Amino acid sequence: MEEEGDEIQERYGKRPREILPFLAPRLRRIFEKLTEDWWANLEEIRLRAGKPLQISGSTLAFLTSDGAVSVDPKAGYVVTEDDIYRTIQLIGGNSLYTLEAELKEGFITIPGGHRIGLSGECLSADGRLVRVQKITSLNIRLAKELIGIAHNLMPYLYTKDRLLRTLILSPPQAGKTTLLRDIIRTLSNGEGIGRPIKVGLVDERNEISGAFHGIPQLDIGVSTDLLCGCPKKDGVFLLLRSMGPQVIAMDEIGRPGDIEFVEEILNSGVGFISTAHAWSTQDLAVRPGLRRIWRRALVERVVILSRRLGSGTLEGIWDGQSKEPLCTEAFRLEVKAE
């Protein structure tokens, strides 16, 4: 008889093991044998029908049917269509109808803020995606909180009782969303800045808050108003009209039209912080969607992250007005010791 989800949760504790109740039984038994070191560094689990079970953290590897880690894909447990189907069933509480909206968006957020990307055969109509109807691949991205990693950066980002307009740049999976979340939490709680700051968060893809049914699963502070699953442009105007934020935060700007709502935020006298995919200030200067923001000095601070020393490596902080570096000594952001 299968264990009930609550019993499994109690046995395995909180993240990242809280994803175990949502895995098909055969997969769950494999992950039960995974070592503590791998659990501590696990970032993604990839399930592809007919392909070896793949995991990634500090490196990319494959899991055998005995839960051993191997760099040889031929040694990996071969994921079946039934493994994926049963995992989706568990995610949806045995009802795919409950996932209808998520199937259209291409991702699902589960309790704990973990995000599951979907791919496979798509159904479209009139040139638009209706939903992913036959799921053959899952990307389980484990939500991780690093409470306190923003503390050492705040003197660069907060001055004269306000947050400087800030853009966090990094390639994928280098920690920009994790850092953004902790900056939001720090501002919202007023940690080290004397008073709480009202933050309006537009979390279009639920990656910052990890919201489940609209409730944040990750700590975004006590003074944060959240709009999850809302397009950035609509969310910005809604927050400005109705919530009176002192700072508006969002993830992953860079499209040509994004500058319009960035300017609207600035014209309203509200602070601003966001992330973008880029590798350097040179990259920032040549990307059409970000070039105007950089050249017109609409941001006052640019924080650049990489994976050079591991996820969350701070490569530097730049003054967005003078374009001069303020900090260029590379180090990995860590939780501040009490």
Burial class (CB in 10 A: 0-12, 13-18, 19+), 101: exposed
What H or E segment, with its residue span, contains residue 263?
helix 258-267
Tell me what pLDDT residue 172 has: 84
By percentage, how much of the chain surpasses pLDDT 90? 49
The more confident residue out of 25 and 124 is: 25
Tell me what pLDDT residue 98 has: 56
Tell me what pLDDT residue 12 has: 39
Tell me what pLDDT residue 134 has: 84
Give the ranges where 21-99 is alpha helix by DSSP (H). 25-32, 36-41, 81-91
pLDDT of 215 higher than 60: yes
What is the residue-averaged pLDDT of the chain?
86
DSSP structural state of residue 51: S
CATH numbers and ranges of domains, the chain: 5-141 (no CATH), 151-332 (3.40.50.300)
What is the phi/psi pair of residue 121, to 5°? -85, 130
CA distance 120 to 109: 18
Q: What is the pLDDT of residues 52-104, one digit of tens each?
A: 999 998 789 999 999 999 999 999 999 999 999 999 889 887 555 556 666 66
pLDDT range class, residue 226, cuts 50, 70, 90: very high
SS3 assignment, position 334: coil
DSSP structural state of residue 136: E
Over residues 238-252, the mean pLDDT reads 94
Tell me what pLDDT residue 234 has: 92
Cβ neighbours of 333 (radius 10 Å): 24
Tell me what pLDDT residue 4 has: 41
CA distance 117 to 131: 13
pLDDT of 2 higher than 60: no
Question: By C-alpha distance, which of 294, 280, 297 is closest to 174?
Answer: 280
Residue pair 277/170 in contact (Cβ under 8 Å)? The answer is yes
By percentage, how much of the chain surpasses pLDDT 70? 90
> Computed over its alpha carbons, how large is the radius of gyration of the chain?
21
Q: What is the pLDDT of residues 173-214, one digit of tens each?
A: 888 999 999 999 999 999 989 899 999 999 988 889 988 888
pLDDT of 33 higher than 80: yes
Tell me what pLDDT residue 14 has: 53
Q: What is the pLDDT of residues 304-322, one digit of tens each?
A: 999 888 888 999 999 998 8
pLDDT of 50 higher than 70: yes
Count CA within 13 A, CB hemisphere, residue 82: 2
Contacts of 24 (CB under 8 A, 6+ apart): 82, 83, 84, 85, 86, 87, 90
- By DSSP bridging, strand 199-203 and strand 247-250 are parallel
Question: By C-alpha distance, which of 307, 274, 270 is closest to 168?
Answer: 274
Burial class (CB in 10 A: 0-12, 13-18, 19+), 238: middle
Question: By C-alpha distance, which of 338, 309, 333 is closest to 179?
Answer: 333
Residue pair 141/43 in contact (Cβ under 8 Å)? The answer is yes
